Amino acid sequence: MKKTFRGGTHPPEFKLTAGIGSRALPAPEMAYVPIQQHIGAPGKPLVRKKDEVTVGQPLTEPGGFVSVPAHAPVSGKVKDVGPYPNPVGREMLTVIIEADDDGGDAKGEEDADWADASAEEIRARVRDAGIAGMGGAAFPTHVKLSPPENKPVDTVIINGAECEPYLTSDHRLMLERSDDIIRGALLVRRAVGANRLLVAVEDNKPDAHSALKKAAKSIDPGIQVEMLPVKYPQGAEKQLINALTGREVPPPPALPMDVGCLVQNVGSCVAICEAVRWRKPLIERYVTVTGSGINEPANVIAKIGTPLAELVEAAGGYTDDAAKLILGGPMMGMAQWTDAVPVIKGTSGVLVLNRADAAVAAEQPCIGCGRCVNVCPVFLLPTNIARLSELEMWKDAEAMGVLECIECGSCTYVCPSHRILVQHIRFGKATVIAEKRKAKQKAEKAA
């Protein structure tokens, strides 16, 4: 029987750029580096207007344990440290650098003993390199690599599923950097002391599966490289763990480590390898630029801080009927109001849809067909939770599991009434989290 998880769906793949090799973009003339590109505390700026910076120099220091620094992607002069449009949909404190030099790739001297680095050393170099999950979640990687003693990790899973339609940046990375993915994966396994290492690829990428299998065989034949049937959202942590190991991660606040697992994206593995081997900070990444609103879809390697407009230009520009700009894929990505926002650590794709593809059908009343329930990979009742959110019944929405929603969008995708379920649920989830935070702060103040 093929390994998979319950629920999920099969949106059309539209992997237009799967066969297109990646190319490095020139460094931007002006780089925009937000002080927060990760989940957790924002970084504290270390530079001021008019400072000279060199490529790879830390621009911020972490604002706590769950935080990472940001580094200069280019050499040049700091033009400003101020608010600037950000992919999360609002302005954020950003270090703006006028480049005078691309500055190279910021690699230091190779550490001859890098492959034998201790767990502590691996975590320290990963933190100093500013690595945050590159699959989109952007959780600080050194924190993930520090499981508490009472939650031992026995299985590390490397996530090469790339189940979002259109995106191919991980696919290209698996073909072009397979050795470094395996090397980084071994460092992850060493950091958490696991004995089992699995690499997962969906079966629409047989070439990536072969490349990783070959790399694993030559570096450590004990690594299992698995092929999974295509299904969305296979790349979600809990679903991937379930598909590969049969283990069920309980609802939040439980984490993969509660069932002895740790999941890392393939891009993070390359960054980990470079951080430990060359002390290279995370200043660039693979990005897919694609969709019916782009003239020449492409995979590019872009410096963090490069405005999206420059990526679009490198991919032949917008078509005449381009209508919608999305950061990420069509299922979980976020629509953007400006292409001035920069590439950040979690940017896997820039998707532009033309007018026809961007058209949204009018919402109709729910007909109670149950399709949304059947596809929900975390076994929720999306139609009920969305309705409770619309009615602003936050306590009831919480009781129905709004916080368990992984925002995969499968429910919205299959709904014949075009109900914007995930949008309502996402709003409800954000509101419940904000209310809980407020209540906690109030209780702390009163104590």
Contacts with ligand SF4 by CB under 6 A lie at: 366-372, 375-378, 380, 382-383, 405-411, 414-417, 419, 421-422, 425
Q: Are the beta carbons of 94 and 115 closer than 8 angstroms?
A: no
- Helix-helix angle 266-278:119-128, to 10 degrees: 100
Query: Which two three-digit tokens encode residue 216?
Result: 């694993």
Q: How far is the CB of 326 from ligand SF4 (least distance, A)?
A: 16
Among residues 268, 214, 279, the alpha carbon closest in space to that of 237 is found at: 268
| Distance of alpha carbon 343 from alpha carbon 233, whole angstroms | 24
> Considering beta carbons, is residue 188 or 415 the nearer one to ligand SF4?
415
Among residues 97, 96, 113, 33, the alpha carbon closest in space to that of 69 is found at: 33
Q: How far is the CB of 438 from ligand SF4 (least distance, A)?
A: 24
Q: How far is the CB of 54 from ligand SF4 (least distance, A)?
A: 43
> Considering beta carbons, is residue 301 or 432 the nearer one to ligand SF4?
432
Q: How far is the CB of 362 from ligand SF4 (least distance, A)?
A: 14
Beta-strand relationship, 23-24 and 44-45 = unpaired
> Considering beta carbons, is residue 157 or 414 the nearer one to ligand SF4?
414
| Distance of alpha carbon 73 from alpha carbon 306, whole angstroms | 9
Q: How far is the CB of 79 from ligand SF4 (least distance, A)?
A: 40
Q: What are phi and psi of 2, to 5 degrees?
A: -70, 145
> Considering beta carbons, is residue 167 or 315 the nearer one to ligand SF4?
167
> Considering beta carbons, is residue 234 or 410 the nearer one to ligand SF4?
410
Q: Please enumerate in sequence order all residues whose Cβ is within 8 A of that of 209, keeping only pairs 6 or more positions apart, or say none.
A: 201, 203, 225, 227
Residue 251 CB neighbours (<10 A): 12
> Considering beta carbons, is residue 301 or 366 the nearer one to ligand SF4?
366
> Considering beta carbons, is residue 210 or 384 the nearer one to ligand SF4?
384
Angle at 72 between CA 33 and CA 186, to 5 degrees: 100
| Distance of alpha carbon 437 from alpha carbon 266, whole angstroms | 33
Q: How far is the CB of 250 from ligand SF4 (least distance, A)?
A: 15
Q: How far is the CB of 371 from ligand SF4 (least distance, A)?
A: 4
